[in-house]
Structure 1
Amino acid sequence: MRHLKALMVLFIVSFFTVSCFEDNDDIQVTASQINDFVWKGMNAFYLYKDDVPDLANNRFTSDGDYANYLNTFSEPESLFENLIHERKTVDRFSWIVDDYIALEQLFSGIVISNGMEFGTFRFSANDTNIYGFVRYVLPNTSAESQGIKRGDIFYGINGTQLTLDNWRTLASADNYIINLGTYNDNGTPQTNDDTVTPTQETKTLAKIQYTENPILLSKVLDVAGTKVAYLMYNGFTGTDQFNTELNDIFSTYKSANATELVLDLRYNPGGSVNTAILLSSLITGQFTGSVFSTEQWNTEFQQAFENENPELLINRFVNNNDGAALNSLKLTRVFVLTTRSSASASELVINSLSPYINVVQIGTATAGKYQASRTLYDSPNFSRSGANPSHTYAMQPLIFKSLNVNGVTDYFNGLSPNPNNILSESIRNLGVLGDKNEPLLARAISIIDGSGRFPITKPTKSENLIDITGSSKDLLPLSNDMYVDKEIPDELIKRIRFD
């Protein structure tokens, strides 16, 4: 049967389930009622629906068959995972949450943070012990007040050595003490003999609710008479406030007559597709109305869009931000600094700009996330309006993959710089962000001024043994998400869901 009517399903499943959930008003809702929402949402929207037999439209022969299936899963999370297509290789990024309020705050840039953004590393793939290194510190936070700075090394939390298995739990606490160490290269350029030596120094950190401005650093550098704009942008936070600030920053660049831009996305995990379009339109400005990217949905949605409104599958360069004219630079070249922590919307900017202008990528390959998601709520059209008040579950499944104007997509292994511009961050010498001598920025400057002052030195084989294993962003749900707030006509959703 094509789809099950909601009232009939809810009546049936209420007799099968044994698990219940409660919201803030202590209104009980059965696990299978939430499971009904999970299955229907995934059946309608999931990008890889055709690859999941349990999401087939003819999967169930009767209402009872459907109810029995839902009740084999005592937790909505279990059902959701059962519907994911190849979690380890294809879909690494779909999620379900039991508190969509916190999810919405995250999308607005509101997090619980102590201000210390860090990465983790080990000296070889065989090590179980890992170490933390500070990437940057957020202003007006506990980490800033404690004097923590970029490049600081810590080996433990609360006196416990960090390992691959425990670091997430230790760093998830609201309050903790980091145990600092020193990085020792033991007098050699190789890293196979490097160590971290514990010290007695500690720092006590406390997390608070914090609104992170994605614009961490912005300046204009003078490079042999050329005005070079530098922007460290750490998240595509799709809020009106931050989008307006981004437009204002580009006004400053225009006033300074900047003719080059270094866009630092090395720690940017992504976010809003609309903000990615805005940023790309600010970098350019000469392509208004041209195709920025296109979308490929599951078979049913794709066919419906193509038949009824194919324009909904196209994202175009824009010339305004909510009616305000953009301060576009109309550049024909942009330098983008990347690492494996550059994901989703960061990659969308690189991939979508590449057919139009010269995108000079410097650093290492990106994360490899070309799919976008959408928040689905338990409502008739899966929108926030009319969401079931009995629970706060929501899903963030992948719903389409992005292609640039030339059809390039599926960059599972990430987007990689030209071999001449592959440059890993050195934990031994991270440099100061925004400083002309910081290695990745210095490489961009050497290309701009043609001096070759900062040639790339290829790492020795032993230097490749250092393994970056994660970052503090991994502690956030949907940290590498690319999401969209596309308005989909209700009638189209109803036909997909109930016809």
Structure 2
Amino acid sequence: MDVRIFPRKIVCLSGIVMIMLSCRKEDKLVPDPPPTGPVTQWETNKWILDSMRYYYLWNTTLPVKADTQLTAIPYFNTLKQATDSFSQIIDLNDIPGTSKKDFLHTFGFDFAVVSINGIEKPLGLLKFVIPGSAIWQDGLRRGDYFTKINNTPLTPQNAQQLSEDILNDHKGSLTKADIAGNVVTETGEVPLQGATLQENPLYIYQTFENQGHPTGYIFYNYFDDFYNTNLLNAFIKLKQDNIKDLIIDLRYNPGGSVAAAAAMIALIAPATNENSILARYTGNKQMGSLSVTFKQALAVPESRVVVPFSQLAAGRSSISRVFILTTHQTASASELVINNLKPYLQVITIGERTYGKDKGAVVITDMRTPRRLSWALAPITYLLSNAKGEGNYTTGIAPDYTVYELNTQPLLPMGDPADPFIAKALSVIRGDGRTSAYPERITTSLYDTRTRASRESRLILPR
């Protein structure tokens, strides 16, 4: 996971919004004089407890005194609510050892392990491949199948461990396979070599004629505000196409920068202005309630490449509704886009229930000189809501039209109008209620590498 420190900003690590704050003397969290000498476990754990008392959403449940026996990570975990799976602690001196790698940006693809009716054994299914990556150059594409990782047959029980093994080793292999009816034939081994991959998350923007209902379509895989100008240019092209409706494909989008999310919302919703409320968040008695406007969010992008609200006017179309495509991997900033568009225009979701991340956290680090503690804490601190105060999507956002992507095999290329999600949206837009006939074969996902990215995505907000 990519972890960067941005002073005085709100950041989402593991898909939860965080404020980057330092634990300084002036914060008055710890009234004791600065300690000297070697760092003790008591000093570390007391700093953790004091920070949690001030920032943690459920701070009334915390103990009075710090434990002196447990090391930092186990101790932090004892302070969390049983239902809190998002708060984190990371050692800034050992980020690789205390955070997890992202599969897509290591090997260039994400996959699911699926069970297909009529086929005895589970299969690996490539869901997304970064164009130009090594595996792309080896000829693999979305919708391809494989049977083994490192020559070990896939099972529901070993899929996660095999994935962890090749991530940790930074290399491995897949055994590619073809399907003819219910017969699976292995076709050869494909080597995998890890790398650090960057992606432009704006993969596709196009206009469907849709039988006289011109409909814009954008596939956006991650909210990266470095590409806000690219996003603006895509919307300008759709506006030039005189679109009447819009489909935003966030099916695999795990989140990212709120400046990018703010730009997308502003481009979609013509009723917003720079002083409109983008988001509200509510914390404990110490943290209180805060609001963020579009102007504030756009002014502090993570990339420091500012695209102000006024510049977005060139790409704003006069639409009254938007169709958003979702799966369980749709998380964090993606869910913020869905929920926080709703005060400004009609939002219609198609696909599957989203991941469910409606909480935020502050990031606390030791900024003293010299720094004594290398830990970064990220305790849940805020509940998130839109301009109307609506939120509470902890269990995910349910679709207005349920469509199961994996029921249609093989998977079609992104942007194909026959893709079941896109086909459903286009039919609703036409108002005829018809979609293409889908195969009756039912496919069940047993494991999905993209879920990790959704669990560990981060979001940047201004304070």
TM above 0.5: yes
Cα deviation, 1:238-266, whole Å, max 9, x if unaligned, reads x3x21222222212222222222110000
Q: Which amino acid aligns with 1:486?
A: P
CA contact (8 A) 1:373 1:483 kept: no
1:315 aligns with 2:292: yes
1:155 aligns with 2:147: yes
CA contact (8 A) 2:160 2:447 kept: no
CA contact (8 A) 1:368 1:411 kept: yes
1:79-478 alignment runs, 5 A limit? 79-86=75-82, 90-99=83-92, 112-122=105-115, 131-162=123-154, 163-172=158-167, 173-183=169-179, 186=182, 197=184, 199-237=186-224, 239=225, 241-288=226-273, 289-302=275-288, 313-318=290-295, 321-322=307-308, 325-326=311-312, 327-379=315-367, 392-418=374-400, 420-426=401-407, 428-454=409-435, 463=442, 466-472=444-450, 474=452
The alignment's TM-score, normalised by the length of structure 1, stands at: 0.74
Distance in 1 separating the partners of 2:47 and 2:153: 42
The verdict on how the C-alpha distance between 1:360 and 1:352 changes in structure 2, with shifts beyond 3 A counting, is same
**Which structure would you say has the larger RCO, counting Cα contacts within 8 Å and 6 or more residues apart?**
2
The verdict on how the C-alpha distance between 1:201 and 1:423 changes in structure 2, with shifts beyond 3 A counting, is same
Distance in 1 separating the partners of 2:446 and 2:328: 9
The verdict on how the C-alpha distance between 1:159 and 1:85 changes in structure 2, with shifts beyond 3 A counting, is same
Q: Which amino acid aligns with 2:364?
A: L
Cα drift, residue 122 of structure 1: 4.3
Task: Specify every segment of 5 or more residues in structure 1 that has no aligned partner in the other structure, as ranges.
Answer: 18-31, 61-65, 187-195, 306-312, 381-385, 488-499
Deviates more, 1:440-449 or 1:225-234: 225-234
The alignment's TM-score, normalised by the length of structure 2, stands at: 0.79
CA contact (8 A) 1:218 1:249 kept: yes
Q: Which amino acid aligns with 1:280?
A: I
Distance in 1 separating the partners of 2:175 and 2:109: 14
Q: Which amino acid aligns with 1:166?
A: Q
Instruction: Report the number of matched residues.
Output: 414
1:189 maps to what in 2? none
1:40 aligns with 2:50: yes
Cα drift, residue 335 of structure 1: 0.6
The verdict on how the C-alpha distance between 1:377 and 1:139 changes in structure 2, with shifts beyond 3 A counting, is farther
2:16 maps to what in 1? none
2:304 maps to what in 1? none
Cα drift, residue 291 of structure 1: 2.7
1:293 aligned counterpart, secondary structure: strand
The verdict on how the C-alpha distance between 1:144 and 1:102 changes in structure 2, with shifts beyond 3 A counting, is farther
The verdict on how the C-alpha distance between 1:110 and 1:160 changes in structure 2, with shifts beyond 3 A counting, is closer
Cα drift, residue 316 of structure 1: 3.0
Aligned-residue Cα RMSD (Å) equals 3.3
Cα drift, residue 390 of structure 1: 6.2
Distance in 2 separating the partners of 1:341 and 1:450: 28
Q: Which amino acid aligns with 2:84?
A: D
Cα drift, residue 406 of structure 1: 3.4
Q: Which amino acid aligns with 2:311?
A: A
Distance in 1 separating the partners of 2:365 and 2:215: 44
1:226 aligned counterpart, secondary structure: coil
2:31 maps to what in 1? 5
CA contact (8 A) 2:52 2:379 kept: yes
Distance in 2 separating the partners of 1:92 and 1:330: 41
CA contact (8 A) 2:352 2:403 kept: yes
1:21 maps to what in 2? none
The verdict on how the C-alpha distance between 1:360 and 1:397 changes in structure 2, with shifts beyond 3 A counting, is same
Cα drift, residue 411 of structure 1: 1.7
Distance in 2 separating the partners of 1:360 and 1:286: 17
The verdict on how the C-alpha distance between 1:471 and 1:278 changes in structure 2, with shifts beyond 3 A counting, is same
CA contact (8 A) 1:93 1:481 kept: no
Cα drift, residue 102 of structure 1: 6.1
Deviates more, 1:208-217 or 1:342-351: 208-217
1:113 aligned counterpart, secondary structure: helix
Distance in 2 separating the partners of 1:392 and 1:456: 57
The verdict on how the C-alpha distance between 1:453 and 1:120 changes in structure 2, with shifts beyond 3 A counting, is same
Q: Which amino acid aligns with 2:292?
A: N
1:481 maps to what in 2? 457
The verdict on how the C-alpha distance between 1:412 and 1:404 changes in structure 2, with shifts beyond 3 A counting, is same
Distance in 2 separating the partners of 1:455 and 1:427: 11
Task: Specify every segment of 5 or more residues in structure 2 that has no aligned partner in the other structure, as ranges.
Answer: 1-27, 299-306
Cα drift, residue 215 of structure 1: 1.1
1:400 aligned counterpart, secondary structure: strand
Distance in 2 separating the partners of 1:213 and 1:438: 22
Cα drift, residue 441 of structure 1: 0.5
Distance in 1 separating the partners of 2:92 and 2:180: 44
Distance in 1 separating the partners of 2:393 and 2:32: 39
1:243 aligned counterpart, secondary structure: helix
CA contact (8 A) 2:87 2:380 kept: yes
Distance in 2 separating the partners of 1:43 and 1:161: 48
